[in-house]
Amino acid sequence: MLAVAERLRGEVKEQSLEASGLASRLGLKASCALLTGPSEEGWPELVKFYDEVVHVKHYLLAQPCPVVYSEALAKVVELRDPKLVVMPHSSMGMELAPYLAAKLGAPVVTDVVDVEVRGSELRASRYLYGGKVLARVRLAQADRYVLTLRPGAFKPAPRPSPGRIVELSLSLEAAPSRRLLGYVEPEAGEVDIAKAQVIVSVGRGLRDKANLPAVEELAKLLGGVVACSRPRVDKGWLPKDRQVGNSGKTVKPRLYLALGISGAFQHVVGMKDSDLIIAVNKDPNAPIFNVAHYGVVEDLLKVVDALKQQLKKTGG
């Protein structure tokens, strides 16, 4: 397998490590292609997750351009001959994958959340219709395949020992079709819920915004952060970067405490792989209990208050 590392302002994005988790699951050896300008160095962190990091330096690769990148990657693929080429499902990956697939004459599937190998068949899973349907795509048999992976769908899998870095020189002829004028940093949130180990998430069951501070206090006592389902973002209670689900972020914390969340499919796809899920809901038939390891049928505010009191007694 060949993973494509993605850079932002000279630094490799963390999503570039996640393909190592897919390789580990499929039992494949994984190389990683890192494309940079001539003055940039390889990212040492990559060798902790991949058997080999193929570092290609060229002045045409200093700025991301799918035309040039696809030419370089096609040559790396020719040299390494991987069966599977994967990259993050990002704005760059969504554009680069079709370019590369066209050059390779390979099938392409985007926004993949799972991959399965059955004999000589490769099947990829992705969500359709706003997350309402999980489609399993059986790819036509080919020499190789190109996939983009949904960020957060696979956990990075560190190697027992570092891989190696191979510097590769290539001759590139493609002229860049664009020039990067600058990068506008999006407004940063206070926390990145995708990295949190403890998440206290609220839904429609928290009917009054005045009760949100009590939930925030509980999250602090647990050493975690507050997140939510889409309705609370739509109400303006919490910013978009706190939303969990198909149209938000995919999270895999050690503890996911779902308070007043019914468990709509669009939300569950973003948190179902958490190590421990505890759900609190008044409705005993709420779908969230189908994915929860433990469930409490009770008013969420009573549970929040009881947990806060106990944590204060025990010192957290």
Closest CA to 232 of 253, 215, 255, 256: 215
Summarize pLDDT for 167-191 with one digit per residue, the tens. Answer: 998 988 866 666 667 666 555 556 8
- Cβ pair 165, 47 in contact under 8 A: yes
- Cβ pair 279, 261 in contact under 8 A: yes
CA 118 – CA 108 distance, rounded (Å): 18
For 269, the 3-state DSSP assignment is coil
Summarize pLDDT for 129-149 with one digit per residue, the tens. Answer: 766 778 999 999 999 999 999
User: Which domains are present in the chain?
Assistant: 2-168 (3.40.50.620), 193-314 (3.40.50.1220)
Summarize pLDDT for 147-168 with one digit per residue, the tens. Answer: 999 888 888 999 999 999 999 9
Summarize pLDDT for 10-50 with one digit per residue, the tens. Answer: 778 888 999 999 999 999 999 999 999 888 776 788 999 99
- To the nearest 10 degrees (0 to 180), the angle between helices 66-80 and 91-104 is 50
What pTM did the predictor assign?
0.72
* Exposed / middle / buried, residue 197 (Cβ in 10 Å: 0-12, 13-18, 19+): middle
Other beta carbons within 10 angstroms of residue 245's beta carbon come to 24
Closest CA to 151 of 107, 95, 94: 94
Closest CA to 103 of 69, 79, 137, 80: 69
Tokens 């599977």, residue? 84
CA separation (Å) from 35 to 17, 38, 106, 152? 15, 10, 21, 23
How big is the CA angle at 304 (ends 299 and 305), to the nearest 5 degrees? 100
CA separation (Å) from 223 to 200, 226, 250? 10, 10, 20
Token pair recorded at residue 242: 């706190």
- Cβ pair 275, 253 in contact under 8 A: yes
For 149, the 3-state DSSP assignment is strand
Summarize pLDDT for 187-228 with one digit per residue, the tens. Answer: 555 688 988 999 999 999 999 999 999 999 999 999 999 999
What is the arithmetic mean of pLDDT over 53-58?
94
